[in-house]
A and B are shown apart, each in its own frame.
Chain A
């Protein structure tokens, strides 16, 4: 029990620190690395919940594949020197104010209800909850439509990426029309 508690607090602090690092660090490369750390600790939390499949999927898909992609993109594009957006005077304090309000609201909501179960043993779940068998059956039964729609979404997104990124012939045509290329 003690061991679980220790692992939980290490993982929780790690996940929070990682998430904070994503937004606080100025260098996008470190932000991405911090996100990898965050996802790793999230996977540990999933393990504590006995959801081994989710933990493994989290590590392989997010920390493994998606984050590598992010790292490549950041390394390729770089641009840590470029300032993000212009500073409109007056917007910044307003943004902080609204963010603080939202934070207060969310804290009230979470502390108001979510923490009621903190001292209990938690919800009772059947053996095998969150396992691959159950996730598979949920994906192919109850959530069949969203599952298929998500794969269709990937297809459409790939087409969209092609539209934006493919090489175009005839850039010279544009210069003819009066705008410098």
Chain B
């Protein structure tokens, strides 16, 4: 008993340097919430967004400060890994957060839910993603995924007086809870089979004290994979994606499409390649089947869509399939390729969503494909980023998407999964149908000048659409335009000069040293 007490009295060593990016976002959320109590336009419009940007900027700086290559011991009693995989993907969350601040700044959702609450929830969700990306045991993983999801449910519904937004939040809540429950069940079974919660211990137990074909372990892996597939919108667990993406306020959709997907893949990468890599021959065929289904379902589903948000949702499903192929390979190259693709995915998707946001605020068609008609001659500053984003998503040479897909395919071929590489190519060919349609609508329909300021129909007939506000002047959304242009420029830049990101991806690949290089 005395030994127990002495042991209990020793506090765990906390590596404050390693955990500092998490403190920056989690603390930032609290500061933002407090600052939002100050009344007045300045505090609401300038101070709170500025503090949010400051928290994210601090987190970016602290992540870079922590950057090192190679595997490292997890901190705080093995709860969090501060390795390039966690830090690199966290950078993507923070950058997405910065873009979302710009996207949301004039949105209706922000005014409906309150500036402080909206940004506080967003920072809370990003804190969850940070925890999730570096989770080193099952408990941390689950708490992280809940901390990611719960603020997102509310953010989807944050345009509370629009029915579709509420519907989207409720749908996401219900399906997200089913996914979480499935995941939790799977994690419990894995714990039951191996007797450990730590990833490293689980990996040691598999094959040694636990048989590889142990039904409890296999069922646990299957249920956990299904639960994570819900979050990453991998088919056949994707059915919520188009509805939720369409209904949610578009800045939230952009945040979900990029950050949530990156977080889901961060945990999939770490969970499968670190905790379950000994059982790779068991899960790899199953995940490969999911990847193929996802690529086909996503690309076919996107073809018939007329809403840009729905189209991007289906395209996100297809892209999840490509990235899952990188996980299946299970080598360092696969890890690098997936991380690299996630970065590319951020640039091209944020560029596309920026254009959707800018257009839906002024167009009577909302986020419909028609809102882009004649955009090529009306405002080339928006048409070009959209064109670049679409070409990149389809994987055209000289864009970031091409390099990303090339990297994924080479990783697949290298790891003896060549047919998965072929599936990526087939999927990309299918995807041209809907990506090129967007480009055709922008550049090949005759110019129709829309009256700036408000939709053409009288104000009384207009249904409020996400992000639309009467006082938003279409030509004065410099923050959206700026983010869109930066993202499009990055898409082209990293398509031509990918080597800086190659180096980062290589560092990320070294995070899990147990993998075959």
User: A residues bordering B, Cβ < 8 Å?
Assistant: 105-106, 108-110, 112-114, 128, 133-134, 136-137, 140-146, 149-150, 152-153, 155-157, 159-164, 168, 171, 174, 177-179
Contact = CB atoms under 8 A, between A and B. Distances in A.
B108 to A, nearest CB: 10
A144 B459 CA distance: 54
B124 interface: yes
B460 A112 contact: no
Interface in B55-107: 76-80
Decide if the interface of chain B is mainly helix, strand, loop or mixed.
helix
Nearest to B27: A152
Nearest to A127: B1
B463 interface: yes
A177 B121 contact: no
Interface string B1-28: 1001101101110100000000000100
Contacts of A153: 124, 128, 143, 146-147, 150
Contacts of B113: 163
B442 interface: no
Given A141-B8, A164-B157, 6 more contacts: A145-B80, A152-B124, A160-B153, A163-B154, A178-B461, A178-B462
Contact of B192 (A114, A133, A178, A179): A114
A133 B140 contact: no
Contacts, number: 137
Contacts of B503: none
A161 B14 CA distance: 32
Interface residues of B, number: 63
B227 to A, nearest CB: 13
In the A-B complex, the 6 residue pairs with the closest CB atoms = A160-B154, A109-B219, A112-B215, A156-B124, A145-B79, A137-B8
Contacts of A174: 161, 464
Residue picked from A133, A141, A146, most chain B C-beta under 10 Å: A146
A143 B139 contact: yes
A133 B8 CA distance: 8
Given A113-B215, A159-B33, A149 B140 contact: yes
A114 to B, nearest CB: 6
Contact of A112 (B10, B121, B216): B216
A150 B147 CA distance: 8
Contact of B8 (A109, A110, A136, A164): A136
